[in-house]
Amino acid sequence: MSSTPPPKALTSDARPDTAERTADDGALGWLRALGPHGRRAFAGAFGGYALDAYDYFTLPLSMVALAAYFGLDSGQTGLFTTVTLIVSAVGGAVAGVVADRVGRVRALMITVITYAVFTVACGFAPTYGTLLVFRALQGLGFGGEWAVGAILVAEYASARHRGRTLGAVQSSWAVGWALAAAVYTLVFSFVDDGLAWRVMFWTGALPALLVLWMRRRIHDAPQARARREHSADRGSFAAIFRPGTDGAPGLLRTTVFASLLSTGVQGGYYTLATWVPTYLKTERGLSVVGTGSYLTFLISGAFIGYLTGGHLTDRLGRRRTIWLFALLSALCVLVYANIPSGANTLLLVLGFPLGFCMSAIFSGFGSYLSELYPTAVRGTGQGFTYNTGRAVGAVFPTLVGYLAGSWGVGGALVFGAVGYGLAALALLGLPETRGKELL
């Protein structure tokens, strides 16, 4: 008989042994509590999401060069992001079903390979239309990676630590963003803009190396796999849209409000992630190196925000934490977009709280969405709701692109605050799940 203990996510959170509780406390207690198999799963999800972010940001950082190369207006460049995110909704929903049917790790590897291949293909695009198609196909993998990786780690994490554990996974987005910004600064400083944007996309081949490691080292949480495989509803869209009855609550209400929550948060986030680099270069007149310096403050705030938000979601609860940062994010957007001309030092300083708030709100998503759905349809539910939010929220960057012609990019960025307001309202229809065991 195996002596390996079951994953902590599927056992009671009560700990009779004081020494064990002490070992699991402290700054890295959440990491120790995962156990060796869970830590490898965490490393795979962390690396996959970081490289997902890297491949995503190759486009926004290269946006000005792309617009000049292909002769695009702001509406056409905004369409890149919208198409990527809309197609990512399809990819994310499909990846969720695949994760419930063939396993989390297999689905994770498929998503990583998909976004890597098509990111590289973008670098070879001869026309605007071809690049748009390749970017859309990249979205198939981009959409599924986070949801699948988050579920994989959530099923290893204990209820007591799940918020901060998933917050740490989320923080890898800032790591990938920072890596993309560093490579962008290097490439665009030494390579002509007409070729530099292609080089940026070609570096998107890096995730293929991660897959080779994942094949040998990472496995699904055993008890979660067993529960999933013995369920008749495994990977069923019908199950997450089933209305409640007197005998069973159903998941329709959860799916509707979780999709609205995801739409609001991601609409606000992708508005900023897509247009802040362009805003800094075109309306604030910053050079490539200057833009990189400003992004350093923004990204540093994002990294700390992910980690802080993860701790708060375990202490305050999922709903309170998201409400708090929805309000603060909307406020930061309004202030950031209305900084007077010439006050670039203030712009630099305020980049930190902006990055902090717009990222901290995401920290509870991995744990919250995982806890809203049972094991058999967790991939389907989380993949659908998170990526529906991406698809509908994807309209925001395009609207900003078209509004920029009359409002200016800075003025149009204010539209992102609307998304955070929608997220706050959506929470009224969802329950608190802090401390919930994954069944």
- Does residue 244 sit in helix, strand or coil? coil
Percent of the chain exceeding pLDDT 70 equals 85
Query: Which residues, 6 or more positions from 389, have their beta carbon under 8 angstroms from its beta carbon?
Result: 259, 260, 261, 262, 263, 264, 265, 266, 267
Q: What angle do CA 424, 430, 435 make, to 5 degrees?
A: 110
Helix residue ranges per DSSP H, 283-360: 288-315, 318-336, 344-360
CA dihedral (371, 376, 378, 383) in degrees, to 10, reads -170
What tens digit of pLDDT does each residue of 293-320 get? 777 887 888 899 999 999 999 999 999 9
Which of 269, 360, 275, 278 is closest to 321 using CA atoms? 360
| DSSP 8-state assignment for residue 10 | G
pTM for this structure? 0.79
What tens digit of pLDDT does each residue of 41-62 get? 999 999 988 988 898 889 888 9
Query: Would you state the pLDDT for residue 319?
Result: 95
**Mean pLDDT on 66-77:** 88
Number of alpha carbons in the 13 Å side-chain half-sphere of residue 182? 9
**CA 145 – CA 108 distance, rounded (Å):** 6
- Does residue 156 sit in helix, strand or coil? coil
What tens digit of pLDDT does each residue of 168-207 get? 998 998 899 889 989 998 999 999 999 999 999 999 888 8
Neighbours of 156 (CB within 10 A): 27
**CA 158 – CA 137 distance, rounded (Å):** 35
**CA 428 – CA 438 distance, rounded (Å):** 23
Q: Do the beta carbons of residue 326 and residue 187 sit within 8 Å?
A: no
Phi and psi at residue 370, in whole multiples of 5°? -65, -40
Q: Do the beta carbons of residue 109 and residue 219 sit within 8 Å?
A: no
Name the amino acid, one letter, at 201. Answer: F
**CA 66 – CA 77 distance, rounded (Å):** 8
